Structure 1
Amino acid sequence: MTSSADNLLPADCAHWEPLLPAHAEHALPPTDAEALNAHLRECPTCRQQLQQLRTLLHHLDELPAPAPPPALRANFLQALNQEKAALKGNEPEVAPLVVAHSEKAAAGGTVIPLWEASAAGRWLRVAAAVALLAVGTVLGLLLQPAALPEVAIRPAPAPGLAAQLTTLAGQPASANRRLQLVSEAPTTVQPGDAAVQVLITTLNADPNPNVRLAAAEALYHLRADPRVGPALVQALPNQTDPNVQITLIELLVALRDKRALAPLEQLSRQPNVLPVVRQQAQQGLGLLI
């Protein structure tokens, strides 16, 4: 691969294009990702394709999970009923226990008809059940403990933003989950909350540029917090993703923060920064001066 954008051949883009989807999901090996990033710095066409892929993946993650059709439940219940009927038809019949008349006569005993034995057994069982119920009622009244005072059960407090971004095992949540939590932060976090510092840490340290981008936008919505302005100024020189850099420049210009002049001046002169980022930094300087 040549070092100048003017000398790049279409074959270079054809070589790197199959790696763009994996790079959009941050799944490339470090060596391949570094080589592809070197190509992206010189190729606006591939950068545009990469941005489109990231936007598409973001929208796909936001789609709701498809619900099963209503007919699926009806088909399942019908199959279940058919299976029950088949099992019921295959149950073996149990012959009633009847003592042969000849065997009782040979033993010198008295033969009791089956209906009489069944009636006597039913009455004995009814009498025993009534007696057991009466004894249980009396024992229940005697042994009933004193009524305990009702204790109001308070719901457990919802976990904070930091706890949700990190699982109990200490591993970070998935990139999609982190992106969702950070995007919802303006509706769940107020200026002055401890979660503002969590968003600042996410902006500076999260490995996913989309999550860092969402953290910057969430902090702008919480700009009434005095920590937000200095945090955005300090984060600008540390960012390497062009989208995050451009977004930070726009947010600092919208805040009219004069402290951003020095990092903007430095960014506008860095040779390893994309031309579009340097141009955005120069425009920001002109608006803040």
Structure 2
Amino acid sequence: MKSNYDKENEQLWNLMGEVPAPEAPAGMRADFDAMLDNYKASLREKPRRLHAFLQHLKDLWHIQPRLQLGYGIALVLLAFGIGYITHRSFSGSNEQISQLSKQMQEMRNMVTLSLLENPSASERMRAVEYVNEAKKVDHKVAEALLTTLNNDPNVNVRLITLEALANLAVDPFVREGLVQSIVQQESPLVQSALADVMVKLQEKRSVKPLQKLLHKEDTNEAIKNKIQQSLLKLS
């Protein structure tokens, strides 16, 4: 559906089309063609410049990891800004937009990976929030999230990471990682939350790991009761 702006433009061009074209002076056509060729060349150059700029940022990211955290939020904002400009400048080229959009996602993934390694628990939780907003991650980010779930010293970070991974469980790699994580957890809170996730996903492969956790001597008695209930729901 055309906007008012598009309709007004169309009417203007239609009116201009009805105006008789004056006789062009000698040499004007050649000058116009040269100017048009220069303009087309500048348009072709824009995607290459943006691509080079993004590549430079990615190289800087890898060369100076200590600066990653300071640049994290700025890069995300920059990605949105360039994405907006790109959409305005190249709305007619789906291939160019797709390529630059992919690069934006790569930048976002790098920010997420960097924040997951931050000593601050709040920053690691911020990384998980980015994942929840994206709703789709690549293999590296999924692997980093599973590592966080299994090894993060902060229980709250583990719990919020588990929630994010449960939303990504359509990915077979994530689903398998969640099953394998059951026997690696020592926190009763995480053990209980994982049991709930397995029931929600109706993941039958989790039965054996849950049974193994059930028979561990150091498993909390309240959690054992919870696991028994979960096993009944999975049977």
Q: TM-score category by the smaller chain? A: 0.5 to 0.7
Give the structure 1 partner of residue 217 of structure 2: 271
What is the letter of the counterpart of residue 229 of structure 2? Answer: Q
Q: 1:235 offset after TM fit, Å?
A: 0.4
Q: Distance in 1 between matches of 2:132 and 2:169?
A: 10
Q: 1:201 and 2:137 equivalent?
A: no
Q: TM-score, length-normalised on structure 1?
A: 0.44
Q: 2:125–2:157: 8 Å Cα contact kept in structure 1?
A: yes
Q: 1:211 offset after TM fit, Å?
A: 1.2
Q: Distance in 2 between matches of 1:177 and 1:219?
A: 18
Give the structure 1 partner of residue 114 of structure 2: 166
Q: 1:183 offset after TM fit, Å?
A: 3.0
Give the structure 2 partner of residue 229 of structure 1: 175
Gaps of 5+ in 1: 1-146
Deviations along 1:187-211, one digit per CA (max 9) or x if unpaired, are 2141655422221122122222211
Q: Distance in 1 between matches of 2:137 and 2:204?
A: 22
Q: Distance in 2 between matches of 1:171 and 1:196?
A: 14
Give the structure 2 partner of residue 142 of structure 1: none
Q: Distance in 2 between matches of 1:246 and 1:171?
A: 25
Give the structure 2 partner of residue 258 of structure 1: 204
* Structure 2 counterpart SS, 1:166: helix
Q: 2:117–2:124: 8 Å Cα contact kept in structure 1?
A: no
Q: Distance in 2 between matches of 1:171 and 1:264?
A: 29
What is the letter of the counterpart of residue 201 of structure 2? Answer: L
Q: 1:161–1:181: 8 Å Cα contact kept in structure 2?
A: no
* Structure 2 counterpart SS, 1:227: helix
What is the letter of the counterpart of residue 187 of structure 2? Answer: D
* Structure 2 counterpart SS, 1:271: coil
Q: 1:247 offset after TM fit, Å?
A: 0.6
Q: 2:131–2:137: 8 Å Cα contact kept in structure 1?
A: no
Q: 1:269 offset after TM fit, Å?
A: 2.1
Q: Distance in 2 between matches of 1:162 and 1:211?
A: 19
Give the structure 2 partner of residue 248 of structure 1: 194
1:58-73 equivalences in 2 (<5 Å): none
Q: 2:128–2:160: 8 Å Cα contact kept in structure 1?
A: yes
Deviations along 1:167-201, one digit per CA (max 9) or x if unpaired, are 6xx96252101112113313214165542222112
Deviations along 1:143-164, one digit per CA (max 9) or x if unpaired, are xxxx997552426355343543
Q: 1:224 offset after TM fit, Å?
A: 1.2
Q: Distance in 1 between matches of 2:117 and 2:234?
A: 41
Match of 2:134 among 160, 164, 188: 188
Q: TM-score, length-normalised on structure 2?
A: 0.53
Q: Distance in 1 between matches of 2:167 and 2:135?
A: 10
Q: Distance in 2 between matches of 1:261 and 1:162?
A: 35
Deviating beyond 3 angstroms after TM superposition, the runs of 4 or more aligned structure 1 residues are: 147-151, 155-158, 160-165, 191-194
Q: Distance in 2 between matches of 1:190 and 1:203?
A: 18
Structure ranking higher on relative contact order (CA contacts 8 Å, 6+ apart): 2
Q: Distance in 1 between matches of 2:138 and 2:127?
A: 18
Q: Distance in 2 between matches of 1:207 and 1:161?
A: 22
Higher helix fraction (1 or 2): 2
Q: 2:112–2:128: 8 Å Cα contact kept in structure 1?
A: no
1:1-289 equivalences in 2 (<5 Å): 150=42, 151-152=45-46, 153-154=49-50, 156=54, 157-158=103-104, 159-166=107-114, 172-190=118-136, 193-289=139-235
Q: Distance in 1 between matches of 2:112 and 2:197?
A: 26
- Of all paired residues, the percent bearing the same amino acid is 30
* Structure 2 counterpart SS, 1:273: coil
What is the letter of the counterpart of residue 194 of structure 2? Answer: L
Q: 1:242–1:277: 8 Å Cα contact kept in structure 2?
A: yes
